[in-house]
Amino acid sequence: MSGADPQSVPIASPEGTGRLVVLAGPTAVGKGTIAAYIRTHFPQVWLSVSMTTRPPRPGEVDGVHYIFVAEEEFDRLIAAGEFLEYAVVHGRAKYGTPRGPVERALAAGHPALLEIDLQGARQVRESMPEALLVFLAPPSWDELVDRLVGRGTETQEERTVRLHTATRELEAVDEFDVVIINDDVRRASEQLVSLMGPRPSA
């Protein structure tokens, strides 16, 4: 792990293509909030829209927050090799990154951001080793529990499963290139975007 200093991170994207950055981290750490902030404030960053088999939550828009699909459609796309990565998250729903849009964004020179879970981040590391893996960490474990409980969108049983997942996910920090502490949404978002370019000309 190279720490959070952008200067210390090797730039590996081929000349003329965008940089692929993967944002992962424990459940409820605020990945979605960071992604939403970047969508609003940094339109130059191309944000992947994941597919999922889970139903939409109130306020979520199909095609913007996720592409919501049925289980059969998701499985058909797996078989067709249409996902850059996919995983079953929290033992319930399937989530995946459609491959084509990411490849097109990078080829067009856009910095691209994936907000995905740890299993997905590991798959991207395998298939695209030049990707930069960023771990979003909570300021503390207590803070993470507060955020998970405070969100209020999960049942007690779901929260228990998510906290169990989060414990395992926190242990994975050493697999990442950079750690960003989510102490402030704006600060953390700016730090993330600073990792995405511009690339040095040399």
Contacting positions for ligand 5GP (CB under 6 A):
27, 31, 50, 54, 85, 87, 89, 95-97, 115-117, 119-120
| Residue 60 vs 183, nearer CB to ligand 5GP | 60
CB of 95 to ligand 5GP, least distance (A): 3
Using Cβ positions, the residue closest to ligand 5GP within the complex turns out to be: 120
Beta strands in the chain (DSSP E): 20-24, 46-47, 51-52, 67-68, 83-89, 93-98, 112-115, 132-137, 178-181
Residue 147 CB-half CA count within 13 A: 21
**Is the CB of 17 or the CB of 97 nearer to ligand 5GP?**
97
Residue with smaller CB distance to ligand 5GP, 11 or 185:
185
Closest to ligand 5GP by CB, 89 vs 133, is: 89
Q: Side-chain half-sphere of 137: how many Cα atoms within 13 Å? A: 19
Q: Smallest gap, in angstroms, from Cβ of residue 7 to ligand 5GP?
A: 27
N-to-C CA span, the chain: 24
Quote the least distance from Cβ 82 to ligand 5GP, whole Å: 12
Q: What is the amino acid identity at position 48? A: S
Place of tokens 């929290």: 90
Least Å from the CB of residue 113 to ligand 5GP: 12
Secondary structure of residue 132 in the 3-state scheme: strand
